[in-house]
Structure 1
């Protein structure tokens, strides 16, 4: 399998971590979707990463779709419960973490792609409210648990860890550790895993 992505994308990182936790072999193909010579549209018509290209040439995109598929390939390191409310809760954690990253990405694009006089502070404020609200929801949901889903490491932790790591990378001015010490403890625990160490955003 080939994974098309970038080293700075938290969504690509999520897939890479799952690949490593599941001990799956793949080739990472780097592509800057904002560059004039990007070829991502050949595999994903939406022009986004990550995109997983299978052995038969078929392509799969959207990180949530990809990681769900990967979790079915081997029983090693199961990250998503098979069914029921527990499964929905883990996927809800993933949606929350992805939503924080989506909002942060919209802020970043507003500040990097638009000229200063064209930027909307109201838009930035609206997206930042989603980031801070999402962080609060994560902290409230985590409480004093070892992992997001309770006692077992899951996709929820992968997603939340990627979101927190990406905020450190792109928004160091957001002091989420001071506001949410339980998230800091979780992040420190996750950062000790080899899959997190080897996929640091850059």
Structure 2
């Protein structure tokens, strides 16, 4: 398998962490989708990463779809419950973490995209998206409480998704003091950063 992605993308990181935790072999191909010479459209018509290309050449995209598939490839370290309320809980955690990222990415693009002049940027839009980030962080903190993991008693996709979101916020929005506001999220992130899968995939 070949994974096309960016070292800075938190969605790509989520897939890479899952692959590491599942002990799956793959080749990583770095691509900048914002570059004029990007080749991502040949595999994903939406022009986004991550994109997983199978041995036969068929492609799979969207991080949620990819990690769902990857979890079925090996019994090692099952990350998503098979069915029922437990499964719904894990997928809801993933949706919350990805939603925080979606808002953060929109805020950052509005503030930094080279296709706009400074006078064309909308601070009200940026503030609205960052408000979603903060309410999402509060929901994460409340849901985690004093538990060791977001869902159940072992590492799951819930923790991976949350950890990738928190790591990206530290990387792109260091001014958001989520560790001070939500110490339990800081403790979870510190624990995740002891895992080789998170150490090897830090955004850059």
TM-score when scaled to structure 2? Answer: 0.98
Q: State the alpha-carbon separation in 2 of the partners of residues 49 and 74 from structure 1.
A: 23
**1:138-190 deviation per Cα after TM superposition (whole angstroms, max 9, x unaligned):** 00000000000031110000000000000000000000000000000100000
What's 1:36 paired with? 36
- In the TM superposition, what is the alpha-carbon distance from 1:31 to its structure 2 partner? 0.3
Q: Secondary structure at the match of 1:4?
A: strand
What's 1:118 paired with? 120
Q: Secondary structure at the match of 2:187?
A: helix
- How many residues align? The count is 202
What's 1:133 paired with? 135
State whether structure 2 residue 73 is matched by structure 1 residue 73: yes
Q: State the alpha-carbon separation in 1 of the partners of residues 181 and 111 from structure 2.
A: 25
- In the TM superposition, what is the alpha-carbon distance from 1:115 to its structure 2 partner? 1.6
State whether structure 2 residue 158 is matched by structure 1 residue 156: yes
Q: State the alpha-carbon separation in 2 of the partners of residues 152 and 191 from structure 1.
A: 15
What's 1:190 paired with? 192
Q: Secondary structure at the match of 1:146?
A: coil
What's 2:10 paired with? 10
- In the TM superposition, what is the alpha-carbon distance from 1:83 to its structure 2 partner? 0.2
Q: Secondary structure at the match of 2:33?
A: coil
Q: State the alpha-carbon separation in 1 of the partners of residues 67 and 38 from structure 2.
A: 24
TM-score when scaled to structure 1? Answer: 0.99
What's 1:64 paired with? 64
Aligned match for 2:148, one of 130, 146, 149: 146
Q: Which runs of 5+ in 1 are unaligned?
A: none
Q: State the alpha-carbon separation in 1 of the partners of residues 182 and 152 from structure 2.
A: 18
Q: Which runs of 5+ in 2 are unaligned?
A: none
